[in-house]
Amino acid sequence: MAGRLLERIAKARKLKPIQIALVWLVKRSPIMLPIPGTSSIAHLEENIQAASLQLSENEYLELTGITELAS
């Protein structure tokens, strides 16, 4: 369920699902610093781009609702 939601939001914004996931993690906890590993320059650039992105309140609440259902 979460994967489909990430895919939908990412597709609508022309981004990768992992970028949406990283943005959500940062918004969920401002004291968290996700440090994704990568083995390619392309993935590094995607991760860096994610640092400047923001989720809409609706996107954030949709994603947060999915995680709360899983708990």
Query: What is the tens place of the pLDDT at every residue in 4-40?
Result: 999 999 999 999 999 999 999 888 887 877 777 788 9
Range of the domain at 52: 2-70
Q: Give me the pLDDT at residue 47, please.
A: 85
The pLDDT assigned to 38 comes to 83
Global pTM exceeds 0.75: yes
Domain total in the chain = 1
CB atoms within 10 A of CB 7: 13
* Minimum mean pLDDT range among 35-39, 41-45, 65-69: 65-69
Which pLDDT belongs to residue 69? 58
* Residue pair 53/17 in contact by the 8 Å Cβ criterion: no
Helix (H, G, I), strand (E, B) or coil at 11: helix
Residues 10, 25, 71, 37, CA torsion sign: positive
- What are 52's two structure tokens? 């400047």
